[in-house]
Amino acid sequence: MAEFAFELNDDQKQVREWLHGFAADVIRPAAAEWDEREETPWPVIQEAARIGVYSLDFYAQQFFDPTGLGIPMTMEELFWGDAGIALSIVGTGLAAVGVLANGTDEQIGTWIPQMYGDTDEVKVAAFCSSEPDAGSDVGAMRTRAVYDQATDEWVLNGTKTWATNGGIANVHVVVAVVDPGLGTKGHASFIVPPATPGLSQGQKFRKHGIRASHTAEVVLEDVRIPGHCLLGGKEKLDERLARARERAKEAGGERVKNAAMATFEASRPAVGAMAVGTARAAYEVALDYAMTRSQFGRPIIDNQGIAFQLADMRTRIDASRLLVWRASWMAATGKPFTSAEGSMSKLYASETAKQVTAQAVQILGGNGFTREYPVERMHRDAAIYTIFEGTSEIQRLVIARTLSGMPIR
C-alpha cells in the first residue's frame, strides 16, 4: 500500500512537467478563441491525441497510479491551461470509465478504442446520466430500457441533459432504468453504437463558462440496441437485480437509496483537482499583475489590502489540493470515506475556485472585467465546479449525513 506523501515522485514530476508544457504551449494560446466560438476545439484534441495526452493508455496509467495522485495531478495541469478545452479533452474519459467499471473484457476492447478514434481522426464519447428532472436526485431518472426477448434487443426511450459531447459523440454510454422499483439499484448502463437510429441531439446549451466544451441534450426515441450492448451482460444484470430486491426487502429500501450517494464519492476529488487548476491559474495572473502594476508610485502588492488577499488565495489553493490528494490517495488505497472525504475535497476546492477567481478579477480592477485578461474567463469557468458532479449543497448534505448518521433533509 502506497504511503501518503506530500510530494510527487520523480516519474510523476516528469509527467506533470510534460502536461504543464502542453497546457502552456497548446491549450492556453487557443483558450480565448474557442471560448468565443463556443465550439469543440477539434485541432487541440487532435494535438493531444498526437502526443498521447488524449488516449486511454495515458489515463489508465494515471488511474492505476498506486498513490492515487496521477489523476488529480493531470486534471490540475490541464485545467490550469483552460477549463473549457480541458473538459473537451477529458470528457471522453467519463464514458470510458463507465465501460471500464461495468463492461466485460470484450466490451472494453470493442468500444473504448471507438471512443477515442486515432490520431488521423479523433473521436469523442459521451456519458449520459442526468435528466431534466433527475440531476442531484438520480433516483428520479425516467429514461427506460426495456428488453425485447424476441429480438435480443434493448429499447431505450427518454431524454438526457447536460451531456458533455452529447449528440456529437461517436459512442454514447446511457444510464437507464430497468427496474423502477429498486431506485438507483434498478439502473443499468448501455452502449449506444455510432449512427444508431433514434438517438439525436436535442438542445445545445449556450453556457456561462466552459464554452469550449460541448454540452447538450440527448434524445432517445425507440433506440434499439443489440443485447450485447448492455454493459456487463444480461446474466450479470439479472443476478444483481435479484440481490438488490432481496436486500431492499431486508433493509426496507433505505440501503438501496443510500448506496447511490456513496457511488459518487470516489470521483469527486477529480473535479476538485479541476477546480484547483483554475484557481491556481487565476491566482498566478493576479500575483504577476500585482507585482508589476504600479499605482501612486509603487507596485499595488505593497498595499496590505492586495497582499493579504493574495495570501488568502494561495492558502485556500494549497489547502484544497491537500484535501484532493488525501481523498484521491484514500480511494486508491481502499480506505473508506468515513467522513465523506471525497465530498469534502470537491466542496472546498469548488468554493475556493469561485472565491479565488472573483478575487483575481477584483485585483485586476477594470482590466479584470475585460476579455483582454484571462481572469474574466476563469471566473466564468469556475462557476461550474459548485454545480456539476453534485452541487455544493449536495456535498454538504452528504458530509452532514455521514458525520451524524442522521437523515438530514
**Distance between CA atoms of residues 132 and 370, nearest Å:** 34
DSSP string for 28-55: HHHHHHHHHHTS--HHHHHHHHHHTSSS
DSSP class per residue in 308-374: HHHHHHHHHHHHHHHHHHHHHHHHHTT---TT-HHHHHHHHHHHHHHHHHHHHHHHHGGGGGSTTST
DSSP 8-class letter at 78? H
- Phi and psi angles of residue 91, each rounded to the nearest 5 degrees, phi first: -60, -35
CB 273 within 8 A of CB 83: no
Catalytic positions: 389
Q: Which of 347, 353, 256, 262 is nearest to 313 (CA)?
A: 353
Cell numbers describing residue 5: 506523501
Q: Cell triple for residue 195?
A: 449512427
Distance CA 149, CA 376 (A): 55
Longest dimension (CA), the chain: 82
Helices and strands: H and E segment counts in the chain:
14, 9
**What region, left, alpha or beta, does residue 2 occupy, with left being phi > 0 and alpha being psi -120 to 50 degrees?**
beta
Contact 76, 89 (CB under 8 A): no
Q: How many Cβ atoms sit within 10 Å of the Cβ of residue 205?
A: 16
